[in-house]
Structure 1
Amino acid sequence: MDWLLRTMSGYADRPAMVVGESVYTYASMLDNCREWADTIREHGIRPGEVVSLEGDYSPSVCGAIMALLANRNIIVPLSDNVQHRHDELMDIAQADRSFVFGATGPEIRTYARSGHSGLLAEFIREDKPGLILFTSGTTGVPKAILHDFTRFVERYKTPRDTMRTLTFLLFDHIGGLNTMFHTLANGGTIVAPTSRTAAAICALIEKHRIELLPTSPSFLNLLLLSGAYGKYDLSSLRIITYGTEVMPDSILQAAYRTFPGIQLRQTYGLSELGILRAKSRASGSPWLKLGGEGVETRIVDGMLHIRSDTGMRGYLNAPSPFDEQGWFNTLDEVLTDGDYIRILGRRSDVINVGGRKVFPVEVEDVLLQMPEIADAAVRGEPNPLLGRVVAAVVNLHEPLDPKTLKARIRSFCTGKLENYQIPVKIEIRQEHLFTERYKKMRK
Structure 2
Amino acid sequence: MTEWTYATQWESVAKAVADKPAIVQQDNVMSWREFDEAANGLAEYLVQSGLGRQAKVALYARNCPEYLVGTYAAFKASLVPFNVNYRYGNDELLYLFENGDAEAVIFETVYAERIDAIRSRLPGVKRWIAIERPGFPLPGWAVSYADIRPCENAPTGNGPRRSEDLMFIYTGGTTGMPKAVMWQQGDLIGKGGYGANPLLGLEPMKGPEEAGDRAKAMPIPVRMLIAPPLMHGTGLLSAFAALSVGGTVLLNRPDHFNAIETLDLAEKWQATWMIIVGQPFAQPLLDALDAEPGRWNLQSMLFFTSSGAMWNEENKRGLLRHMPQAALMDAFSSSEALGLGSSVMTSADTVHTAQFALGEDCAVFDEEGRRVEPGSEIRGRVAVGGFIPVGYYKDPVKSAATFIEIEGRRWSMPGDWALVNADGSLTLLGRGSQCINTGGEKVFPEEVEEALKRHPAVVDAAVCGMPDPRFGERVAAVASLKPGMSADPMELVDHVRGELAHYKAPRHLLCVEKVPRAPNGKMDYAEVRRMVTEAFAINQP
CA distance in 2, matches of 1:26, 1:155: 25
Structure 2 residue identity aligned to 1:332: D
Structure 2 residue identity aligned to 1:36: L
SS of the residue corresponding to residue 275 of structure 2 reads strand
Q: Against the structure 1 CA distance between its residues 244 and 391, is the aligned structure 2 distance closer, same or farther, given a 3 Å change threshold?
A: farther
The match for 2:239 among 169, 180, 187 is 180
Q: Against the structure 1 CA distance between its residues 263 and 427, is the aligned structure 2 distance closer, same or farther, given a 3 Å change threshold?
A: same
CA distance in 2, matches of 1:53, 1:77: 5
Q: Against the structure 1 CA distance between its residues 94 and 38, is the aligned structure 2 distance closer, same or farther, given a 3 Å change threshold?
A: closer
The match for 1:332 among 416, 427, 437 is 416
SS of the residue corresponding to residue 147 of structure 1 reads strand
Q: Against the structure 1 CA distance between its residues 189 and 275, is the aligned structure 2 distance closer, same or farther, given a 3 Å change threshold?
A: farther
CA distance in 2, matches of 1:427, 1:137: 31
SS of the residue corresponding to residue 324 of structure 1 reads strand
What is aligned with 2:362?
296
CA distance in 2, matches of 1:149, 1:75: 11
CA distance in 2, matches of 1:100, 1:239: 32
What is aligned with 1:262?
326
* 8 Å Cα contact 1:305/1:329 also seen in 2: yes
What is aligned with 2:427?
342
CA distance in 1, matches of 2:292, 2:85: 27
Cα shift readout 1:71-129 (whole Å, capped 9, x = no counterpart):
22121122422354211211111222212244799x9x995249xxxxxxxxxxx9952
Could you state the TM-score of these two structures normalised by the residue count of structure 1? 0.71
What is aligned with 1:97?
104
Within-5 A mapping of 1:58-207: 58-82=64-88, 84=90, 85-102=92-109, 111-113=122-124, 128-136=164-172, 140-156=176-192, 157-160=194-197, 161=200, 162-194=221-253, 195-207=256-268
Q: Which 5+ residue runs of structure 2 have no aligned equivalent?
A: 126-161, 201-220, 367-377, 437-463, 478-514, 519-523
Could you state the TM-score of these two structures normalised by the residue count of structure 2? 0.59
What is aligned with 2:297?
233
SS of the residue corresponding to residue 267 of structure 1 reads strand
SS of the residue corresponding to residue 297 of structure 1 reads strand
What is aligned with 1:120?
none
CA distance in 2, matches of 1:139, 1:129: 28
Q: Against the structure 1 CA distance between its residues 228 and 203, is the aligned structure 2 distance closer, same or farther, given a 3 Å change threshold?
A: farther
* 8 Å Cα contact 1:240/1:264 also seen in 2: yes
Across the aligned residues of Structure 1 and Structure 2, the Cα RMSD in angstroms comes to: 3.9
The match for 2:29 among 18, 23, 32 is 23
CA distance in 1, matches of 2:322, 2:272: 17
Q: Is residue 2:39 matched to residue 1:33?
A: yes
Q: Against the structure 1 CA distance between its residues 212 and 138, is the aligned structure 2 distance closer, same or farther, given a 3 Å change threshold?
A: farther
Q: How many angstroms does 1:57 deviate by?
A: 3.9
* 8 Å Cα contact 1:332/1:343 also seen in 2: yes
Cα shift readout 1:40-98 (whole Å, capped 9, x = no counterpart):
23322211211112213444332322222232212112242235421121111122221
CA distance in 2, matches of 1:13, 1:127: 28
Q: How many angstroms does 1:164 deviate by?
A: 0.9
- Quote the sequence identity (%): 18
Structure 2 residue identity aligned to 1:217: Q
CA distance in 2, matches of 1:12, 1:229: 38
CA distance in 2, matches of 1:86, 1:165: 30
Q: Against the structure 1 CA distance between its residues 237 and 137, is the aligned structure 2 distance closer, same or farther, given a 3 Å change threshold?
A: farther
CA distance in 1, matches of 2:359, 2:228: 23
SS of the residue corresponding to residue 143 of structure 1 reads strand
Cα shift readout 1:184-203 (whole Å, capped 9, x = no counterpart):
11111100111412222122
What is aligned with 1:402?
none
Q: Against the structure 1 CA distance between its residues 331 and 425, is the aligned structure 2 distance closer, same or farther, given a 3 Å change threshold?
A: farther
Cα shift readout 1:138-187 (whole Å, capped 9, x = no counterpart):
98222222222332233443243342111112212111122111001111
CA distance in 1, matches of 2:123, 2:431: 39
Q: How many angstroms does 1:4 deviate by?
A: 3.7
CA distance in 2, matches of 1:11, 1:337: 48
Q: Against the structure 1 CA distance between its residues 56 and 309, is the aligned structure 2 distance closer, same or farther, given a 3 Å change threshold?
A: farther
Q: How many angstroms does 1:380 deviate by?
A: 8.7
* 8 Å Cα contact 1:239/1:264 also seen in 2: yes
Q: Is residue 2:392 matched to residue 1:315?
A: yes
What is aligned with 2:536?
426
The match for 1:222 among 284, 295, 303 is 284
Q: Which 5+ residue runs of structure 1 have no aligned equivalent?
A: 115-125, 352-359, 369-373, 394-422, 430-441
Q: Against the structure 1 CA distance between its residues 143 and 198, is the aligned structure 2 distance closer, same or farther, given a 3 Å change threshold?
A: same
Structure 2 residue identity aligned to 1:272: E
Cα shift readout 1:354-392 (whole Å, capped 9, x = no counterpart):
xxxxxx99x95xx96xxxxx7774789876899526559
Q: Against the structure 1 CA distance between its residues 228 and 205, is the aligned structure 2 distance closer, same or farther, given a 3 Å change threshold?
A: farther
Cα shift readout 1:1-44 (whole Å, capped 9, x = no counterpart):
22342244222222111011122221221111221232123322
Structure 2 residue identity aligned to 1:323: I
Deviates more, 1:300-309 or 1:178-187: 300-309
Q: How many angstroms does 1:236 deviate by?
A: 2.6
Q: Against the structure 1 CA distance between its residues 32 and 276, is the aligned structure 2 distance closer, same or farther, given a 3 Å change threshold?
A: farther
SS of the residue corresponding to residue 342 of structure 2 reads strand
* 8 Å Cα contact 2:388/2:411 also seen in 1: no
CA distance in 2, matches of 1:332, 1:229: 39
Q: Against the structure 1 CA distance between its residues 288 and 319, is the aligned structure 2 distance closer, same or farther, given a 3 Å change threshold?
A: closer
CA distance in 2, matches of 1:29, 1:375: 34
Q: Against the structure 1 CA distance between its residues 308 and 11, is the aligned structure 2 distance closer, same or farther, given a 3 Å change threshold?
A: farther
